[in-house]
Amino acid sequence: MSHIAGETSTGSKTRRALYGRYANDDAAPGLLRRSAGCTIVDVRGREYVDFVMGLGAVSLGYGHPAVVAAVCAAAEAGGVGPVAPELEETVAADLAALFPAHPRWRFLKTGAEAVAAAVRLARITTGRERVLTCGYHGWLDWSQDAGAAGVPRALGTLASPVPFNDVDASRVAIRTTAEQLAAVVLEPVIHTEPTVEWLKTVREETRRVGAQLIFDEVKTVCRVAPGGATERWGGEPDLVVVGKAIANGMPLAAVGGTDEAMAAIGKTWISSTLATEFMSLAAAHATIKTVRSGNVPATLARAGAALHEGMTRLAQRHPAVIRQVTGIPVMCAFEWVDEDAGARVALECARRGLIFKRTPWNFVSLAHTDAVIAEALAVLDDALRAVS
Q: Could you tell me if residue 282 is inside a domain? A: yes
What range defines the domain where residue 45 resides?
A: 11-63+295-387
How far apart, in whole angstroms, are the C-alpha atoms of residue 52 and residue 43?
A: 18
Domain end marker among 266, 293, 320: 293
Is pLDDT at 1 greater than 80 in this prediction?
no
Per-residue pLDDT reduced to its tens digit, 40-81: 999 999 999 999 999 999 999 999 999 999 999 999 999 999
Q: What is the reported pLDDT for 119?
A: 98
pLDDT of 387 higher than 90: yes
Per-residue pLDDT band at 194 (split at 50, 70, 90): very high
Distances in whole angstroms, Cα of residue 194 to Cα of each of 30, 190, 245, 298: 37, 8, 20, 19
Query: Length of the chain in residues, anyone?
Result: 388
Residue 2 inside a domain? The answer is no
72-81, 147-156, 231-240, 253-262, range with the lowest pLDDT: 147-156
Q: Say yes or no: 199 and 76 in one domain.
A: yes
Q: DSSP secondary-structure letter at 194?
A: P
Q: CA separation (Å) from 294 to 287, 291, 297?
A: 10, 6, 9
The reply to whether 35 and 72 lie within a common domain is: no
Mean pLDDT, residues 356-367: 98
Report, as an integer, the average pLDDT of 115-138. Answer: 98
151 and 289 inside one domain = yes
Q: Is 93 helix (H, G, I), strand (E, B) or coil?
A: helix
- Looking at residue 161, which CATH number applies to its domain? 3.40.640.10
- Split at pLDDT 50, 70, 90, the class of 145 is confident
- Mean pLDDT in residue range 98-115: 98
DSSP labels, 112-166: HHHHHHHHHHHHHHHT--EEEEES---SSGGGSPTT-TTS-HHHHTTEEE--TT-
Supply angle C-alpha 358, 45, 342, rounded to 5: 10
Handedness of CA 187, 192, 197, 198 (dihedral sign): negative
* Per-residue model confidence (pLDDT) at position 92: 98
347 has pLDDT over 80:
yes
Query: What does R_g of the chain's alpha carbons equal in angstroms?
Result: 21
pTM across the whole model: 0.97
Instruction: Report the chain's mean pLDDT, rounded to a whole number.
Output: 97
